Structure 1
Amino acid sequence: MSVQIDSAFDPVPSLSHATRVSLTTEPATGPGAQAVFVPAEGDLPAAVGTLDRDALAAAGFKAGSKQTLVLPGSPLTVLVGTGKNGIETDAELRDAVAAFTRAAREIGHLSVDLSELIAEGDWDAGVAVQAAIEGAALARYRYDALKSEPITAPLEELSLQVPTEFIEEAEQGVARGLVLARTASIARDVANTPPRHLNADKFAEVVEQVAPEFGLDVEVFDLAQIEEMGLGGLLGVNAGSIEEPRMIKISYRPADPEGHLALIGKGIMYDSGGISLKPSNAMHAAMKFDMMGAGAVFAAMTSFAELGVQSAVTGWLMCTDNMPSGSAMKLGDVLTMRGGKTVEVKNTDAEGRLVMADGLVLATEDTSVSGQRPDAIVDIATLTGAVMGALGTRTAGMLANNDQIAAQLEAAAEASDENIWRLPLDHRYREQLKSNVADMSNIGGSYGGVILAALFLNEFVDGTPWGHLDIAGTMQSESDDLWRSVGSTGFGARLLAEFAAAFEAPEAAEGTDTDASAE
């Protein structure tokens, strides 16, 4: 028996609407709202009109960073505060445009004048335009696929004014900005979709349908094939479910690839905790987001051809739900993982690392590009509650066995403004993963949960340069927050896209921890 899913339902509505971006060298014609950036000190922009700072202050507007004030008229004028220092980074610009977009939430055609910012500052026009597009498009994102009536006006057009001499650079920014905004929206769509509408099988169908449009090859492995492949972690987690698991392999192969990168995504379509049942609270209700790692890998890979990624990339999406039943995985069970390692299950709610381990081993065995193993592996998962306790909800945890991979992930995080913080892969904690009956356990002690989870995964990379992103804390926003719309943040999709676009294979052995079992 399986849950019947409406075949007409579209889990990726973002692909049916695209914002049109127009570049102008003069003020745009016909916008419904225009942004005016206002510093907290100095002269006011001419577009403010006859109002002075006292009048603005009386209206509650002191031009603090990202503060907005809507002035009536046609078009609407939205004042956006930029603080004492103005807009100095692409992250600040992305935030400012997002604040404007939210203030003009009912308007379908928006205009932003970037001319002064680009002409007077130390800016790359392409980066500025990209940030503005991401800020506007992602702030306007809303998941309303299951609502009778749409609740948000679509952003039909975004007009960006830039200096004439920067038009060519700006055009490059338009292309990148639209691709990356779409990438994040795809990740948000699949993560926001309720588990009844998007189980592992349906997700595989979505990937099979969508991925070829973006130059990707897809292979889907069903239950029988997963059993034949010996993916004991995926099978163990799936044991309590009436829904079959799926392992989805996505391949991107440019002409004459310069390297080979593997991406592993955790795809727990819904996580009840299994026999180690989660409490019935808000976090349990958010467990449809537990497939965001797989969603991020899938979404990121849709951008690779348009971003000109030069490396071959293979994505491995490990998909199942984690449910309690008479057949469910039990505490004390021992699973045999791909490659032969045995794992004692001491907590069925530490299931993500079990399915990811199988994916990591598959990646290390992959010699489909030039007969060589991947140059690097990066996995992404909503893995531990401990990372939320350590870093909160705006910063993801990153651990790596290779300094070069860590540095490239940090650069991609800075470019995307998806913040990460490197934590130590401290092998002194490895002893806590020992088991009396198996090669290792799936959990350790009460503390250092982020590190212990990463140490577990490190056992399966066979010395390959590897980075791990724990996005459990950053997976959702409980309210609209600038360009982070309520619900799934899509965290990691843009980061992985930026990472792959700039990926360089690490130099052999330099900065690599090759002793995966060091204690």
Structure 2
Amino acid sequence: MNMALFDRLSTVQADLLVAFVPAEGALPESTAWIDENVAGQISQLRDTAVFKGGVAQTLLLPLMTQDFAQAVLLVGIGKDAELSDMQARKVIAAVAAQIKGLPYESVAVASAALTLKGRSESDIIALVSQWLNEGFYNFLGFKESDAEKATKVASLLIQGSDETALTIGTATANGSAFARQLGNLPGNVCTPSYLASKAQQLAEEFSIDVELLDESKMDELGMNCLLSVGHGSDQPSYLIVMHYRGGEEGDAPHVLLGKGITFDTGGISLKPGAKMDEMKYDMCGAASVFGTMKAICELKPKLNFTAVVAAAENMPSARATKPGDIVKTMSGKTVEILNTDAEGRLVLCDALSYIERFEPKSVVDIATLTGACVVALGSVNSGMYANNDDLASELKAASQTAADKVWQMPLDEEYQQQLDSNFADIANIGGPEAGSVTAACFLSRFTESYPWAHLDIAGTAWTGGASKGASGRPVALLTRYLLAKV
């Protein structure tokens, strides 16, 4: 889809104009211009309460008058002078939901009418372009009716003047769509080998460097903890490494690490059957890293960025790791695996040790790690842990810019004792209390040589139930975080 900016609605030729209508008070400039050209029909619709202008309310007017041939979509923005990010997201989602199914090839969105609390014009352009594009996402490839989902919209115009903001918003949405597509794929398609092939495709498309460490290479390196997770599966595990080199040669990279458990049965510590299908989403951390790499490759910032994915499938079998088994990590520490369903930290810890060879400026891991984080924060905030205050502050700032929320959780030394083991250096679970915290504490033991943060996205990576689907978070946060490093 072609994305572009325009200045004034009166100068635009488009099949459909999207105009915003407040519930009360003066109409915004673009809406007022349309109203003047259609003999006050918009004002009349609002005055008679046919269209009240409530937040995200929509009304399509296919033909206003013979002299004004363009169709108009009215979208309510409520009574508040400034919208919150949540309200604005609802408004833009309503716009996208309406226009993607309409038979119009070109659409102009008079987004200058939107005022968001604490947001600059550039912020609004980036967010509107991102959210509109995200609203066009469809999961395709598995239904006979997929052809009917193709949108007719070929050109989407947004009001404003900041081309950079438009580019950032569009690239972020493309990265988010990539992450969502990977997340939504079934486990029989999206295997560790499939993720490795996607890395190779990115290498071909954007000329990045890719390394694929197979099980033989990981065994040579002593990555027994990562390998233990995939023992019960017929699918081989991989450590996938992608290098984007846009900065100075030899400059140390910023690293993102994604948990890529392509399906998680829990292993021998088998999960309950209800909702187990959603465990295809246990690779959404990896998906977000892939999505961020795609966004960064499109934006071409001047920095060095390495993306690492620890990919495995956690299955029960005669070869599977058992509760009580002890394995040695790449770092030399031994782990007593008390619960094979606490497998994410097992693949990540060896990957965190491997990352040391890059002498990274920073490392952020992203993982659907614990149900405990969902209990603590629900689906609004991703949980954030960090061993470095500056890194935590940078992630919080990126979170605010991207409207992709995080909440910093504690990483106090006192929690570490919950991971004591009678038989090994560390246990892989810490009991029923503070489960998300003790998972982060486990990871922290492998990050002493660099600034590190952990994002637990178990509550934010996907939605379950009737609206089941991957969210694409936190691609927006991670993209903004990296762009701020330039």
**Residue 380 (structure 1) aligned with residue 366 (structure 2):** yes
AA matched with 1:488 = A
Tell me which amino acid in the other structure corresponds to 1:21: M
Aligned partner (choices 27, 37, 41) of residue 50 of structure 1: 41
Give the equivalent residue in structure 2 for 1:275: 268
1:473 to 456, 459, 462: 459
User: Aligned partners of 2:417, 2:113: CA distance in 1, in Å?
Assistant: 58
CA distance in structure 1 between the partners assigned to 2:429 and 2:48 by the alignment: 55
CA contact (8 A) 2:381 2:406 kept: yes
Per the alignment, residue 209 of structure 1 pairs with 201
Corresponding residue for 1:112?
109
Q: The residue matched to 1:302 in structure 2 has which SS?
A: helix
Deviation at 1:68, TM superposition (A): 2.6
For 2:266 and 2:14, the matched residues in 1 are separated by 49
**Aligned residue number for residue 129 of structure 2:** 133
In the TM superposition, residue 211 of structure 1 has moved relative to its aligned partner by 3.1
Decide which of 72, 77, 82 is 1:77's aligned counterpart: 72
Partner of 1:38: 21
TM superposition shift of 1:32: 4.2
Which one-letter code corresponds to 1:141 in the other structure?
Y
Q: Distance in 2 between matches of 1:158 and 1:239?
A: 49
Superposed CA offset, 1:176-196 (max 9, x none): 222111111111111111111
**Counterpart check, 1:498 vs 2:480:** yes
Residues 1:225 and 2:217 are matched in the alignment: yes
Answering whether residue 413 of structure 2 is matched by residue 427 of structure 1, we say yes
Match of 2:255 in 1: 262
1:400-428 deviations in whole A, cap 9, x for unaligned?
Answer: 11111111111111122111111111221
Q: Residues 156 and 51 (structure 1 numbering): CA distance in 2 closer, same or farther, change over 3 Å?
A: closer
What letter corresponds to residue 161 of structure 1 in structure 2?
A: Q
Kindly indicate whether residue 176 of structure 2 is the aligned counterpart of residue 178 of structure 1: no
Does 1:142 find its partner at 2:138? yes
SS of the aligned residue for 1:406 comes to helix
d(CA) in 2 for partners of 1:377, 1:161: 37
Q: What TM-score results when the alignment is normalised by the length of structure 1? A: 0.84
Structure 2 Cα separation of the partners of residues 313 and 95 of structure 1: 33
Whole-angstrom distance in 2 between the partners of 1:324 and 1:86: 56
Spell out, residue by residue over 1:439-484, the C-alpha distance to the aligned partner (whole angstroms, 9 max, x if none): 010001211011000000000012421110000001112479xxxx
**Residue 342 of structure 1 corresponds to which residue in structure 2?**
334
Structure 2 distance, partners of 1:288, 1:501, is: 30
Q: Distance in 2 between matches of 1:339 and 1:442?
A: 15
Distance 1:111-1:275 versus aligned 2 partners, 3 A rule: same
CA distance in 2, matches of 1:298, 1:34: 35
- Alpha-carbon offset, residue 89 of structure 1: 6.1
Give, as a single letter, the amino acid of the residue that structure 2 aligns with 1:138.
E
- State how 1:347-496 maps to structure 2 within 5 Å: 347-364=339-356, 366-367=357-358, 373-478=359-464, 487-496=469-478
Separation in 2, partners of 1:197, 1:413: 32
Change in 2 beyond 3 A, CA 1:286/1:109: farther
CA–CA separation in structure 2 for the residues paired with 1:251 and 1:347: 34
CA distance in 1, matches of 2:471, 2:337: 31
Name 1:5's counterpart in structure 2: none
1:241 is matched with which residue: 216, 229, 233? 233
Moved more, 149-158 or 296-305: 149-158
For residues 305-359 of structure 1, what are the alpha-carbon distances to aligned partners after superposition, in whole Å with 9 as ceiling and x for unaligned? 4434333222221001100111111000011111111000111100000000011
Structure 2 CA distance, aligned partners of 1:242 and 1:192? 22
Letter in 2 for 1:127: D
User: Unpaired runs of 5+ in structure 1?
Assistant: 1-18, 368-372, 505-519
1:79-106 deviation digits (Å, cap 9, x = unpaired) = 2222222445666545422221112331
Residue-by-residue CA offset, 1:23-81 (whole Å, 9 max, x unaligned): 2334365544322212222134434542547757744x432333333334364432222
Q: Which amino acid aligns with 2:256?
A: L
Structure 2: 5+ residue stretches without partners = 64-68
SS in 1 for 2:318: coil
Q: Determine if contact 2:46/2:53 at 8 Å carries over to the other structure.
A: no
Deviating more after overlay: 451-460 vs 461-470: 461-470
1:138–1:460 CA distance, 2 compared to 1 (3 A): same
1:285-364 matches, cutoff 5 A: 285-364=277-356
What is the TM-score with the length of structure 2 in the denominator?
0.89
Distance 1:413 1:110, change over 3 A: same
Distance 1:121 1:358, change over 3 A: closer
1:105 maps to a residue whose letter is K
Aligned pairs, number: 467
Percent identity over paired residues: 36
Structure 2 residue aligned with 1:97, among 75, 92, 102? 92
How far does residue 230 in structure 1 lie from its aligned partner after superposition?
Answer: 1.2
Q: CA 1:349–1:117 in structure 2 vs 1: closer, same or farther (change >3 Å)?
A: closer
Conserved in 1, the CA contact under 8 Å of 2:6 and 2:12? Answer: no
Given that 2:259 and 2:282 are in contact with CA atoms closer than 8 Å, whether structure 1 keeps it comes out as yes
Compared CA separation, residues 116 and 63, structure 1 to 2 (3 A)? closer
Aligned to 2:66: none
Secondary structure, aligned partner of 2:278: helix
The one-letter code matched in structure 1 to 2:92 is: V
User: Displacement, 1:243?
Assistant: 0.8
- 1:452 partner letter: T
Q: Which residue of 2 aligns with 1:67?
A: 57
